[in-house]
Amino acid sequence: MGKKWMTAVVAAALSVVMASSAFAGTWENQEGRWKYHNDDGSYAAAQWVEDQGTWYYVEQDGFMKTGWFQAGAGVWYYFDENTGAMVSGTTRNIGGTDYTFDGSGAWVQPQVRLNDGWNGTTYVNRLVGYQITLPDSYQAVSGNTVSLPEEAQYDMVASAPDGNSIIVTAIINMSELDGENWSDEELAYYFKYIYRSESDVIGASFNDLGFAKITLIQSEEGIADVYFKRCGSYVLMIETVFIPSRWQEIDDILHTMKIPN
């Protein structure tokens, strides 16, 4: 929904820019290149021009743009090499590669399929269907950094350089607990029992992933939370340990979680 909303906003803003740049005038050929001559005698420059329902872009030097053009907000457009007309609502082969353009002319960038494991600062695991992106300063850590249930297997561990915030993901195969048919209440009881937690179980949602959450520790010295969700015959769990001043940082990290492409 967020991406659709943002696309609509950009398209609406662009339509206003384009509409304000439409002029009545004529094209003028100067040594094989085209300029747009306005009715008031001036030449269009660094602006969009609409001519008989087709959009063009005129560069700062006044000549018609052809090829690729990047507008505000990083949006790319393509203007036909021969006519200068903006390509829109179609897929065009350019230099041997197919590019798709939406109805506003914006290039629809393809989604990149990341590999399982680390992809720069993003970690992906398709077995349980999640990816998470860490800040550049965080480092992958090996070894047993936090206390996990005996049945849990470490998946991803990352820490801030100063060690004051740690985030761990782990996977539990429910068949090892004979828990394939456990209800959500039974699964929550399992985690509360294992961690000896008296906190309430609350819901937590990060983009398209919903978790249950229990708090293990909450004091002036530090906070420790556990999140868990069922993923078929597995359970994905996340444990976060951090000093209180890092709460927003941890929350931002958790909100990068989503289902991989």
Rounded to whole angstroms, the Cα distance separating 127 from 138 reads 24
pLDDT above 70: residue 4? no
| Higher pLDDT pick, 141 / 58 | 58
How confident is the model over 235-253, as a mean pLDDT? 96
Nearest 10 degrees: Cα torsion 135, 141, 146, 147: 130
How confident is the model over 242-261, as a mean pLDDT? 94
Q: Comparing C-alpha atoms, which of 261, 258, 260 is closest to residue 208?
A: 258
What domains appear along the chain, each with residue ranges and CATH number? 25-108 (2.10.270.10), 120-256 (3.40.1000.10)
Report yes or no: 171 and 165 within 8 Å, Cβ to Cβ.
no
What is the model's pLDDT at position 24?
67
Lowest mean pLDDT among 98-107, 155-164, 170-179: 170-179
Q: How many CA atoms lie within 13 A of 236 on its CB side?
A: 21
Return the percentage of the chain with pLDDT > 70, whole number: 90
Burial class (CB in 10 A: 0-12, 13-18, 19+), 39: exposed
pLDDT above 80: residue 61? yes
Report yes or no: 27 and 38 within 8 Å, Cβ to Cβ.
no
Rounded to whole angstroms, the Cα distance separating 261 from 251 reads 22
